[in-house]
Amino acid sequence: MGPTRPTREKIKELRVEGITKRFPGIVACDSVDLTIGENEILALVGENGAGKTTLMNILMGLYQPDVGKIFINGRPVQFKGPADAFAAGIGMVHQHFMLVPNMTVAENVALGLKESHTHLRLDLSGVKKRIAEISERYKLPVQPDAYVWQLSVGEQQRVELIKTLCFGARFLILDEPTSALTPQETDDLIVLLRRMASDMSIIFISHKLAEVTALSDKVAILRRGRVVFKGTTAGQTAAGLATLMTGHEVVLPRNEGVDGCGEERLVVQDLCVKSDRGFLALDGVGFSVRSGEILGLAGVSGNGQKELAEALAGLRRVEKGRVSLMGRDLTNRSPREIIDAGLGYIPEDRTNEGIVSSFSIKENLILKDFASPKFSHGIFIKSQEEARNAASLQERFDIRCSSLNSAAGSLSGGNIQKVILARELAREPKALIAVYPTRGLDMGAEEFIHTRLLELRAKGVAIFLISEELDELMNLCDRIAVIFKGKILDILAGREATRPALGLLMAGIRPEAADRAAEPGEKA
Amino acid sequence: MKTSARVAYIALISCVAVLAAVGIGAIVLVILGADVVQTYKVILTEPLKDLFGITEVLVRAVPLILVALGIAVSFRAGILNIGAEGQIQMGIISATAVALAWPALPKSTLVPLILLAGAAGGALWASIAGYLRAKLGVNEILSTVMLNYIAAQLYGYLLRGPMIDPAELQTGSGTPQSVRLPKSAWIDRIIPGTRLHWGIVLALVLAIFIYILLWRTTSGFKLRAAGASAKAARYGGINVESCLFFAMVLAGAFAGLAGAVEVTAVHRRAIEGISSGYGFSGIVVALFGGLHPGGIIPAALFFGVLLVGTDMTQRILSIPANMVSVLQGAVILSIISAKMVINDPYAREKFARRLSRFRGHPGGYEVKR
Ligand SMILES: Nc1ncnc2c1ncn2[C@@H]1O[C@H](COP(=O)(O)OP(=O)(O)O)[C@@H](O)[C@H]1O
Ligand SMILES: [Mg+2]
């Protein structure tokens, strides 16, 4: 059994039966049965940790199931490794890209293509021809000579796709392909996948129910390793799917409060900041956030959001302008001083910046306060206090982990975000900057984070929320500023903001009507 | 992961690494035309046969522990100190200078003063590389290696010129070495008739000190955070540059101290070749010991056995003592490879599968990072 020879046979049906996979202390997949037919798109949804990636790794031969079988066209197969799965025509784009940044696109493809480097010779032109064919066939534009590090996340994703297709995949698995994409890139990907489905079958993993309904024919929901729902996508509602996914009803909370009324807390004036590459990323940005207010910042990512957040947190030099918190000038102060002044910060890159991933959860929860009198006697860290703090925050923020001593990097994205949130909120900040706080998270986690942000607002904290999810912004914000090419084009009142109005501004188009400046916070 | 599992995991890495290193060493021995089994038997058992061998192993372990402790701090903080060799030599120079400058001081004052001087010498030398890295971003591997060359030349010059024993000039033999240190500067031997000295106690106490520093104090928290993820440390308000500088200086101080201990406890005068590669072996010991004092002590003892054992093979089987360098190189290679294999989750999964098939029940055990 088990094809190890490459076959060109069509995959008319792929079926898994009774797949069970255990890890220490957890059943990652629990008797999973699934069938995917020819040219079908199956959306596989489930919360973080539901077992989706594990199931797909089993399909790719990266893991062996403890129990259960895989059938292709009714015949049982056994994949000893990814090479076997490739040979059978199954290809996967992993959740985390597997590209070498300082190699070109063509070289990255050649890397996995055995026949391109036989006899010590690298047939790069052959590889480029193959890339050109595939990019032509599926209308997937790529530049084969570009270096991977030069590409945006969306472009890198296309390279991953092309790579998989060059290996001869006739059955595609995409593990959370949209979690790192901007909404625009996501829309492009969905159009592309629809087109590709005329040629192959696709398993598409996502938390975002809008994507699922836009793309898939069938949907399967995994909860704690079990398939809790299988059926056609048509007729499903996002709310219904979310309920099945989490096991309880999910209602994203809304900001129902009256417009902000407190004093100005975070004030930014005429801010100019350079990007890593040396050009002006922010060009005269100004706004203020009041106590008890959530000010949103909408915009296509890459328009200066990252630089703005870093400049506010003291992690990037301010060339010109002024930042102050509660009347205190914080321009170009050290991160430590800014932290001590009461600014909380949820960074964009939660695994590399928000936590020290090899540190324990316990340690990460005191990352900003280990030297404070609460957690140290000057020299020594009070380890009981550290443990007590961790235990109480774990309970308050529902951090799910096997132990508070385990490395924070081993947690799922949602739980890492809870660790960061717990640490930042426990410090009782005067103002909080949250950058893409729910990107890539499932709905349960999103609901949790939104609820916490609104609680914080009610307590009078000034919140600056950078996001590209318009729904998130419109649900939560009192006012929404729109950034385009390093400038704030306009600030709209949250209640008046509409998708089309925000969309136009995000594209850099300022409607005449916007002149009536809906900025209740800015006094003349 | 539970502590017991972690210890088992580290032990597993070490065993695999040792076996691989032994294998590579065996290949070299075969090429040399030596009897492989006999050689290994001599290396690993001969040093432990009598009191002399055991004390010699401990004598070798002292500088290895001291250097490795400093290396562990610097590597954990994310700055790679390859300059321990030069720092040891600077420590020897400062220690010798102090000992010769104030020979009349009572022992209880002079010995601590010498040790401090040694540490200061090493620290000062390391601070050059630390400063260049923290302020100007100069790669510390490059600067410490270059500083090693300068230190070696300086050391040679001083022993041949300004610091040479005048007696050597009178007799005309011209051996590059300093005057013998006054008795008041000596660290005493523990067991008469052997070279085992009180430096071993100092090394063990400092091992505990480093453990506490790294895992119990706020400074240790900063250092480890800076090394584990500079970006996250900066985000958390930690001044990463000052951590790098401090870690480098501390590593230099430990290397300098090792030099001071060697000169006052073992050789009792500055001679050429005192450091005898401890600066480099110390790096291997630190890595082999998992950059943890609890691992460094056994690793240093193991390398002490290797050093004494290869000396003995030279005498007994006339196999060059340089074999120890081959084995060290082999150990580095095998540790790094073993760690990579064991850290790879898919390799782990495969291993667990084999293991469970072997034990006859499916799925069960998984080694985690
Ligand atoms: N190699 C592994 N060792 C131990 N546990 C694992 C491993 N891989 C995944 N898990 C656990 O299995 C569960 C399912 O994980 P995963 O398949 O990655 O979830 P998803 O992709 O749905 O977010 C999680 O609880 C995770 O912690
Ligand atoms: Mg996953």
Best residue among B346, B350, B366 to mutate for probing ligand 1, ranked by most atoms within 8 Å of CB: B366
Ligand nearest to the Cα of A47, by number: 1
Of the candidates B207, B265, B313, the one whose C-alpha atom is nearest the C-alpha of residue B55 is B265
Cβ-Cβ pairs closer than 8 A, A with B, add up to: 88
* Pocket of ligand 1, beta carbon within 6 A: A 23, 26, 28, 46, 48-54, 412; B 345, 366
Cα separation, A100 vs B243, whole angstroms: 31
Answer whether A370 sits within 8 Å of B218, measured CB to CB. yes
Shortest Cα–Cα distance, A24 to chain B (Å): 7
Q: Which of A66, A367, A381 sits opposite B216 (nearest CB)?
A: A381
Given a cut of 50, is residue A523 above it in pLDDT?
no
Of the candidates B257, B123, B253, B250, the one whose C-alpha atom is nearest the C-alpha of residue B187 is B257
Answer whether A367 sits within 8 Å of B239, measured CB to CB. no
**Atom 20, ligand 1: residue with shortest CA distance:** A49
- Which tokens hold the place of B24? 């590579």
Strand partners, A13: A37
Query: How far does CA A244 lie from the centroid of its chain?
Result: 22
Which chain A residues are closer than 8 Å to B233 by Cβ?
356
Residue-wise pLDDT for B297-344, tens only, equals 999 999 999 889 888 888 888 777 777 778 777 877 787 777 676 666
> What fold does the segment set A255-342+429-524 form as a domain?
Rossmann fold (3.40.50)
Q: Which of B221, B350, B355 to mutate to test the interface with A (most CBs of A within 10 A)?
A: B221
Handedness of CA B169, B175, B176, B182 (dihedral sign): negative
Residue-wise pLDDT for A208-221, tens only, equals 878 888 898 899 99
Q: Matching CATH topology for A1-89+172-178+200-247 and A255-342+429-524?
A: yes
Q: How far is CA A16 from CA A29, A41, A67, A244, in A?
A: 12, 16, 11, 22
The per-residue pLDDT of chain B, averaged, comes to: 87
Of the candidates A475, A344, A317, the one whose C-alpha atom is nearest the C-alpha of residue A420 is A344
Given a cut of 80, is residue A1 above it in pLDDT?
no
The per-residue pLDDT of chain A, averaged, comes to: 88
- Which tokens hold the place of B53? 């061998």
Q: What is the mean pLDDT of residues A472-483?
A: 95
Which chain A residues are closer than 8 Å to B349 by Cβ?
62-64
Which chain B residues are closer than 8 Å to A347 by Cβ?
235
Given a cut of 80, is residue A352 above it in pLDDT?
yes
Q: What is the mean pLDDT of residues A369-383?
A: 93
Percent of chain A having pLDDT more than 70? Answer: 94
Could you give the angle at which helices B240-261 and B84-101 cross, rounded to 10 degrees? 60
Cα separation, B155 vs B150, whole angstroms: 9
In which band, very low, low, confident or very high, does the pLDDT at A467 lie, cut at 50, 70 and 90? very high
Q: What is the mean pLDDT of residues A241-248?
A: 85
In which band, very low, low, confident or very high, does the pLDDT at A143 lie, cut at 50, 70 and 90? confident
CATH of A1-89+172-178+200-247, one of 3.30.70.1350, 3.20.20.70, 3.40.50.300, 3.90.15.10: 3.40.50.300
Which chain B residues are closer than 8 Å to A334 by Cβ?
237, 239
For residues A158 and B360, the model is more confident at A158
Asked if B1 has any chain A CB less than 8 Å from its own CB, the reply is yes
Cα separation, A127 vs A116, whole angstroms: 7
Of the candidates B309, B193, B206, B214, the one whose C-alpha atom is nearest the C-alpha of residue B258 is B206
What does pTM read for this prediction? 0.84
Task: Spell out which chain A residues touch chain B, with contact meaning CB-CB distance below 8 angstroms.
Answer: 21-24, 62-64, 66-67, 313, 315, 334-336, 339-340, 345, 347, 349, 352-359, 363, 367-368, 370-371, 376, 378-381, 383, 406-407, 410
pLDDT of residue B369: 32
Domain ranges of chain A: 1-89+172-178+200-247, 96-169, 255-342+429-524, 354-426
Ligand nearest to the Cα of A52, by number: 1
CA atoms within 13 A on the CB side of A345: 31
Which chain A residues are closer than 8 Å to B9 by Cβ?
none
Query: What are the strands, taking DSSP E only, across chain B?
Result: none
Given a cut of 80, is residue A142 above it in pLDDT?
yes
Contact between B184 and B106 (Cβ < 8 Å): yes
Given a cut of 60, is residue A30 above it in pLDDT?
yes
Answer whether B221 sits within 8 Å of A363, measured CB to CB. yes
For chain B, which domains are there?
Answer: 1-34+321-369 (no CATH), 61-318 (1.10.3470)
Cα separation, A263 vs A521, whole angstroms: 9
**Those residues with Cβ within 8 angstroms of residue A389's Cβ, 6 or more apart along the chain or in another chain:** A362, A365, A366, A375, A426
Cα separation, B18 vs B11, whole angstroms: 10
Handedness of CA A440, A443, A445, A448 (dihedral sign): positive
- Which tokens hold the place of A20? 């069970």
pLDDT of residue B341: 66
Given a cut of 70, is residue A260 above it in pLDDT?
no
For residues B342 and A6, the model is more confident at B342
Amino acid at B198: W
Contact between B163 and B177 (Cβ < 8 Å): no
- Which ligand 1 atom minimizes the distance to the CA of A56? 17
Given a cut of 70, is residue A512 above it in pLDDT?
no
Per-residue pLDDT of chain B (369 residues; tens, 9 = 90+): 445 666 676 677 778 877 888 888 888 888 888 888 888 888 889 899 999 999 999 999 999 999 999 999 999 999 999 999 999 999 999 999 999 999 999 999 999 999 999 999 999 999 999 999 999 999 999 999 999 999 999 999 999 988 888 888 888 788 889 999 999 999 999 998 899 999 999 999 999 999 999 999 999 999 999 999 999 999 999 999 999 999 999 999 999 999 999 999 999 999 998 887 899 999 989 988 889 999 999 999 999 998 898 888 888 887 777 777 787 778 777 877 776 766 666 665 665 566 555 554 444 333 333
Cα separation, B236 vs B227, whole angstroms: 13
- Which tokens hold the place of A325? 């918190």
DSSP notation for B197-212: BTHHHHHHHHHHHHHH
For residues A141 and A491, the model is more confident at A491
Given a cut of 60, is residue A513 above it in pLDDT?
no
Measured from the Cβ of residue B291, the count of other Cβ atoms closer than 10 Å reads 19
ipTM above 0.90, yes or no: no
